[in-house]
Structure 1
Amino acid sequence: MQLQHTICLGVAGNFAHHLEQAGELKDFENVMTAEPDAPKGIFPFYLPGSDSFLGVYSIGTDRLTLPEYEANAQVEPEIAVLFDIVYDEGKKVIDLIAQKFTTFNDCTIRKEGAKKISEKKSWGRNSKGIGDTWIPIDRFEEGGVMDHYHLCSFVKREGILHPYGVDAPLLGYSYFYTKLKTWLIDKMNTQEDFGPLENIAAHLQATHYPKQALISIGATAYAEFGKKNYLKSGDEVYVIAYDHRTEDSSIEPSAHKVILHQKVSS
């Protein structure tokens, strides 16, 4: 699915321990949240039509291209949800309608001195990755299809498959379903340009109020290999969502499994 006309946003800090492991907690030390486990904010990683680096369509499928300069890049295994955006007459976001979900690699470079999260998120084409299949969302609340899915990730290096992120149920997200949607709507309308965060309402205006948003809703914590190893050319990345009632976490395809598989190059 091509998303060139869709604003693409990410959620920072929506899984316990991820920011600490990624070494990014200090970036948010002055960002206040309503609850201790609340996400820190929203960041853009693709702005259709923008003249900035965020205007480059960065989402790949089977390839992940590392920056030309030396960079400490890590997989960020996530679920991405495609939402329809509903605006009122004043172009304020009043609803987000979840349509479908897939797996996502919000690959991030650990870049010292970056003023905004977005500076670590996009560096050109194929700096992100999206799954091969979309699962329709029957309802974005408990009792729906997403209740049963888990998210896991692996990196294959020199023929050996290593767990990269922990295997986690989607219900393990700190903010999910209605709580997440309410929070997203608020941040899309009110988040200010402060610290590592950006004014999302201004981005919506600059992109001519797109009808849809792809939102990656947060990365899992890292497994031991993920904590200690950055990506290298020649690695293979797998980000997998599977229905735990009928499937396992293997990289083998099956009926209700969503697999993102990328080969890493520089």
Structure 2
Amino acid sequence: MPPLSELMMFALALAAAGVVSGVLAGLFGVGGGAILVPVFFQVFGLLGVDDAVRMHLSVGTSTAIIVPTSVRSFLLHYRRGVVDTALLRNWILAIPLGAILATVIAAYVSSETLRLIFAMIALAVALRMIFNRATWRLGRDLPKNPITWLVGVVIGVLSGLMGVGGGVLNNTFMTLYNRPIHEAIATSSGVGVLISIPGLFGYIWAGSGEPGLPPLSTGFVNWIAVALIIPVSLLVAPLGVRLAHAMDRRQLEAGFGIFMILIALRFLYSLYG
């Protein structure tokens, strides 16, 4: 067990991550997992958590935290009237199905594979957002079913494997089909709700009985980290929402892209550095 001073530093680091994740939940329509997963990966490593379960624990714990932060962010955006509720109704089964499939996959893949998935998706989305042009469109409006429904399943799977709330992928999907970035961000908060709730139970199941997990963990969810971060995230989420509606489209896209590149590089370094 690390000294008390080190544990206090870890707790402060987690609390700081909670501030950033809460702001991001409102600002980019994500559950904050894009920053929480790498933070958890680092902190759990310093605490001596087995490498074989460290990434799984990071993703599962992040998913648990996304539940309240996404709900809070969704309600705030919904009150502003910019959420595409028709799209969310279309995905009410598709996205949870994808999230459950992600936890089944996670139960059988290695920590290195999870990190590589996270980094590759983050990098692809980042490049698209940074170099985005108005002419980069796949259509004037969202495609009809079954295409949109299948996209929902894919968003659920990939986001579930990353431990994020779906904003990373949904923002890209909606903007490619000519939807405003502010509407995409607002709708992504609802996507986070559809991913995180089934994902939470899935990661608890996937990690049940796994050796090497830290104290107060249920499957791949560590409740100490959850208890530290959720209150802070909920407190600062409204700040992110206000920032999102105050910034223009290009600022949001560029900021989101730069953020995701930094996260992708961090995980690639952990694999090949």
Q: TM-score under structure 1 normalisation?
A: 0.30
Which protein has the bigger strand share? 1
Which protein has the bigger helix share? 2
Q: Which has the higher contact order (CA 8 A, sep 6+)?
A: 2
Q: TM-score under structure 2 normalisation?
A: 0.29
